[in-house]
Amino acid sequence: MGVPTDDAVVIQKGKENGDPHVITVNCPDKHGLGCDICRIILDFGLYITKGDVSTDGIWCYMVFWVVPHSSSPFVRWPSLKNRLQSLCPSCSVTFHFEGQASNSSAAAASPVYLLKFFCLDRKGLLHDVTQVLSELELTIQKVKVTTTPDGRVLDLFFITDNMELLHTKERQDDTYKQLNAVLGESCISCELKLVGPEYERHHGISSLSPAIAEELFRFELSDKETRSQALSPDMAKLKKASVVVDNSLSPVHTLLQIVCVDHKGLFYDVLRTLKDCNIKIAYGRFSLNSKGYRDLDLFIQQNDGKKIVDPDKQDGLCSRLRMEMLHPLRVIISNRGPDTELLVANPVELSGKGRPRVFYDVTQALKSLGICIFSKSEDIQVRNGNGKCTGSFWMITANSNSQVLEVEIRL
């Protein structure tokens, strides 16, 4: 029968301050579960120091050693456990239909709320509000920011509640309380309400110039080009990412060996890529950081249970993974009159979910640099010829949570 549902996720605290917490997941398996687990861990501001994953295709066992990022030391561990448990299939169910699961999850999409506040503007305001929303487990779907010449700002946050409680007075009161603690006397008005069907009508596809789209979503980046999104001071080190396929060590699995520079969300990026490529992981080990590098050993299979022997499929998978190692985010900085435009793009899963906390990290970086964000934002989606979303953007002064964003800043 396996383990009771309540024990599907166990979080063990570190013995001493600074020691990693150990997250153990022991439950029935499903396609992409490891990716979904890593996404939640990243969404809670945690860094995976090492990990082990194993499955027989029916049951899986995962262990992750995690520590809070310095940018988000506050972690709601009970909420994290609840979120992780919600991902685990019921122990009483021995099979599932992936197509039905994705359809039902889409049908059960969380309602969108509009948080609107009008207050005196200041540097770092957008990040401070974003941090409060993150700690409250409210996910930002879209942001619009408008500043006025007299130093005031009107911010519109379109949000969803990961706890599904924002319809209750208690949850709303707690949200107002936490926001007022940050905004203080500078707040002129603050309003929270459920949005109507007009949100979906205005949530469509906006225009993005072909040149910008090509710059952001070009699959093959030329090593000879000095591209604006290659912001690392040591690109030679980044380009040492190694992805090797070996079919000699197992009669039924392909060994995928990855050596690359460590970055935030690395495990999520790798598992997301494998999930979207319909690759199953039988066993995986993520090593500790060694001089800024990570080693990943993954025994994988195609969705049909066979090894990956086709050279074209091997090359395609390795090429895509190298791209994730080299450019987990795409960044473009350009001049727009007296102002500077910042555009950040990140991949979106086939499920429609983007990388967590991108908006949080961008606004934090701008705040630390003392850079002001101003202007308004609108949602953008970029689709390929098959109509599948390959990226999203948030045209804004400060942008949104996952997906893509465009920001106008004044240096």
Condensed to tens digits (0 to 9), the pLDDT of residues 315-356 reads 999 999 998 888 888 888 877 777 777 888 877 888 878 888
Give this prediction's pTM. 0.82
Average pLDDT value for residue range 231-238: 58
Give mean pLDDT, residues 43-50. Answer: 95
pLDDT at 65: 97
**pLDDT confidence of residue 224:** 44
Q: Is the pLDDT of residue 92 over 80?
A: no
Q: Which two tokens stand for residue 342?
A: 């910042």
Mean pLDDT of 109-127: 91
> Taking 80 as the threshold, does the pLDDT of residue 13 lie above it?
yes
| Mean pLDDT for the stretch of residues 148-152 | 87
Which pLDDT does position 217 carry in this prediction? 65
Helix, strand and coil in the chain, % to nearest 5: 30, 35, 35
What's the token pair of residue 232? 């690392």
Reported CATH class of domain 1-108? alpha beta
Between 255 and 394, residue with greater pLDDT: 255
Q: Return the C-alpha torsion angle 98, 99, 103, 105, nearest 10.
A: 10
Query: Residue type for 138, please?
Result: L
Q: Is the pLDDT of residue 6 over 90?
A: no
pLDDT score of 77: 94
Confidence check: pLDDT of 405 > 90: no
- Which range has the top average pLDDT, 163-177, 289-303, 393-407? 163-177
The region of weakest confidence among 21-30, 71-80, 84-93, 124-133 is 84-93
Task: Note the pLDDT tens digit of each residue in 355-388.
Answer: 888 889 988 988 888 887 765 444 444 443 333 3
Q: What is the pLDDT of residue 108?
A: 58
Strands annotated E in 56-129: 59-68, 113-120
State the CATH class of domain 113-203+329-410: alpha beta
Report the 10 Å Cβ neighbour count for 411: 9
Higher model confidence: residue 285 or residue 337?
A: 285
Q: Could you tell me what percent of the chain has a pLDDT over 90?
A: 49
Query: Coil, strand, or helix at residue 222?
Result: coil
Residue predicted with more confidence, 398 or 121: 121
